[in-house]
Amino acid sequence: MRYSFASRTVSLLSSPLRQIRENARLNSFISLAEELPAQELFPVKLLEEAARDVLASGPDVLQYGEPEGFKPLREWLTAEWGGRKNTLVDPSQVLLTTGTQQAIDLVVRLIVDVGDSVLVQNPTSPGCLQVLSMQGAKVIPVVSDGNGLLVHELEQQMKLHCPKLLFAAPTFSNPTGGVWDLGRRKDVLDLCRRHNVLFVEDDSYGDLDLNLKRGEMHPSLFALDDGGQGGQVLYIGSFSKTIAPALRTGWAAGAIPVIEGMTVLKQLADMQSSTMNQRLLHRLLTGPRFNWHDHLAQLNKEYSTRLKLMLELLKRPLWKEVTWRVPEGGMYVWVRLPDGLDSAMLLKAALPKGVAFMPGGLCTAGKEGASHIRLNFSHPGRDELLLGMNLIGETIAEFTARR
């Protein structure tokens, strides 16, 4: 049979991400492309104990639960996360999702019709761009500098395109690891209010502070929006980058009409995310042997060490003519390649060597991403990182030698 797939699936089916993920399953392959945390830092023993406790609590743990998610975990979020972020949200304003990706998918399906304009911070998360493409949105990139979105350009784009949404990650964005300053946050929020644009704030990496400034928080736009009560911001968070991705637990917090709409769509998608995983996570977070703040401090200390190693490797001769900005948080370094070198072509040459990175074109709504690559430093161990960076550096040197 000849199958006729929807036209919007063509780019997904032909995406280099598929080849990267297939190769990443090979034992000898080194991937600096994927969004993976360090698995040796997962709290495995404590999760084992939590799982035993949860399963011992009775068979109802295996039953269907609320589509909004396990209420005690939503209550923990409003108290612990809400307290740290200076928000005033109620559990009814929180929806537990199957990771950040589903939260993005749900809000896009709720609000965006085919052809609607959506503004995105550029560069941005590949997953966000894929969701918008599948929904048939008109994606409008907005340029950033070191302090956040350029306000003048943002206002021009709002006036020109009348967008439904603005997607951005003000704190430790994927892929740059940059942070918006307070003034820029307030200016962007003010523009969203004046132009009636819902700001979708992706804070998936917001706890991964590589400067190790314990206790120093960057105010979320959600908190700046009257403690989350203003209705102008939808906040998205996740435990995938801080606890373990396999638990597939993220969340969205926002105005009740938006959360209720996303909940209805979630029931159509999968009825609910895993209640058992949510119970397990809640037991871990509230257990006497787990300290959330100490766990984050350990993650940030280790990731800071790995980042320093990657930055030292970028200074080696094989990487000459590349430039980068040191990320303030997150899991990636955003690298500009030598002039004239295309990241997609570089990836094709690197894959047979047994190494991969994320080509910049998958992280951008425009064409300028072709000159960049995204490198993950959180997942590979020291030996893998050394070898992987050498292999990519060799591939770059081979291209530059031909000029």
Same domain assignment for residues 247 and 338 = no
Q: For residue 18, give the CATH number of its domain.
A: 3.90.1150.10
Residue 17 has pLDDT above 70, yes or no: no
Number of structural domains found in the chain: 2
Based on the domain organization, do 125 and 255 belong to the same domain?
yes
Over the chain, what HEC string results? CCCCCCHHHHHHHCCHHHHHHHHHCCCCCEECCCCCCCHHHCCHHHHHHHHHHHHHCCHHHHCCCCCCCCHHHHHHHHHHHHHHHCCCCCHHHEEEECHHHHHHHHHHHHHCCCCCEEEEEECCCHHHHHHHHHHCCEEEEEEEECCEECHHHHHHHHHHHCCCEEEECCECCCCCCCECCHHHHHHHHHHHHHHCCEEEEECCCCCCECCCCCCCCCCCHHHHCHHHCCCCEEEEEECCCCCCHHHCCEEEECCHHHHHHHHHHHHHHHCCCCHHHHHHHHHHHHCCCCCHHHHHHHHHHHHHHHHHHHHHHHCCHHHCCCEECCCCECCEEEEECCCCCCHHHHHHHHHHHCEECEEHHHHCCCCHHHHEEEEECCCCCHHHHHHHHHHHHHHHHHHHHCC
Give the CATH number, domain containing residue 240: 3.40.640.10
The last residue of a domain, from among 286, 308, 339: 286
> Is 202 a residue whose pLDDT tops 90?
yes
What is residue 215's predicted lDDT score, i.e. its pLDDT?
A: 47
Residue 38 has pLDDT above 80, yes or no: yes
| Residue 176, pLDDT score | 96
Tell me what pLDDT residue 2 has.
85
Same domain, 78 and 218: yes
Overall average pLDDT of the 260-289 stretch: 96
**Quick one: tokens of 64?**
């269907």
Mean pLDDT along residues 66-89: 94
Please state whether the predicted TM-score (pTM) of the whole model is above 0.85: yes
**Is residue 71 domain-shared with residue 130, that is, in the same domain?**
yes
290, pLDDT greater than 80: yes
Residue 194 has pLDDT above 90, yes or no: yes
Residue 156's domain comprises: 45-286
| Residue 22 φ then ψ, to 5° | -65, -45
Q: Which of 239, 262, 286 is the last residue of a domain?
A: 286
Task: Round to whole Å and give the CA distance between 291 and 325.
Answer: 32
Instruction: Establish if 2 belongs to a structural domain.
Output: no
Q: In terms of domains, do 176 and 324 share one?
A: no
At 76 the pLDDT is 96
More confident residue, 12 or 40: 40
Q: Is 28 left (phi over 0), alpha (psi -120 to 50) or beta?
A: alpha
Looking at residue 400, what is its pLDDT? 86
158 and 213 in a common domain: yes
Mean model confidence pLDDT for the chain: 93
Which range is least confidently modeled, 79-83, 232-236, 294-298? 79-83
At 213, the pLDDT band (50, 70, 90 cuts) reads low
Closest CA to 12 of 362, 269, 349: 362
Q: What is the pLDDT of residue 128?
A: 95
C-alpha to C-alpha distances, 317 to 77, 188, 219, 396, nearest whole angstrom: 47, 41, 40, 11
Per-residue pLDDT reduced to its tens digit, 237-258: 999 999 999 999 999 999 999 9
Whether residues 273 and 192 share a domain: the answer is: yes
pLDDT for position 6: 79
In a domain, residue 1? The reply is no
Q: pLDDT of 325-371, one tens digit each?
A: 999 999 999 999 999 999 999 999 999 999 999 999 999 987 778 99
Q: Are 369 and 380 in a shared domain?
A: yes
What would the mean pLDDT of 286-300 be, rounded to a whole number? 94
Residue-wise burial string across 64-91, b where 16 or more C-beta atoms lie within 10 A, e elsewhere: ebebbbbbebbebbbeebbeebebebeb
Evaluate whether residue 397 is within a structural domain. Answer: yes
Per-residue model confidence (pLDDT) at position 24? 63
